[in-house]
Amino acid sequence: MDGRKVDEVAAKHLGRNLFRARRRAGYSQEELATLCSLHRTEIGHVENGRRLPRVDTLLKLASALAVPVEELIQGIEWAPPAPTRCGSFLVATPG
């Protein structure tokens, strides 16, 4: 990790979205990593919710999978800070 705080719920949700898109496209982590000029472990970290990708990485992933970026971040929203609370990610729960 690079020291940045990762919102675990948002990271896990994005990871599930990426996993589903990758499997639907028929790629292994290694194949997707090669298409994106990334290391396979980066794909694993994102899919397992240990890392939120940078914007450039998100764009590479979406492009390689031929999906809109919105599909990878579907169900994740940012709630701006208010006077009584900090900003936070809102993640849609299935069901």
Model confidence band, residue 4 (pLDDT cutoffs 50, 70, 90): low
**pLDDT score of 5:** 65
Residues 38-94: tens digit of each pLDDT: 999 999 999 999 999 999 999 999 999 999 999 999 999 888 877 777 888 888 876
**pLDDT score of 84:** 79
Model confidence band, residue 95 (pLDDT cutoffs 50, 70, 90): low
**pLDDT score of 13:** 95
**pLDDT score of 82:** 78
Q: Domain coordinates of the chain in residue numbers?
A: 8-91
Tell me the CATH number for domain 8-91: 1.10.260.40
Mean pLDDT of 17-45: 98
**pLDDT score of 91:** 87
Q: For residue 91, which phi and psi values (nearest 5 degrees)?
A: -115, 130
Please check whether residue 80 is in contact with residue 87, taking contact to mean a CB–CB distance below 8 angstroms: yes
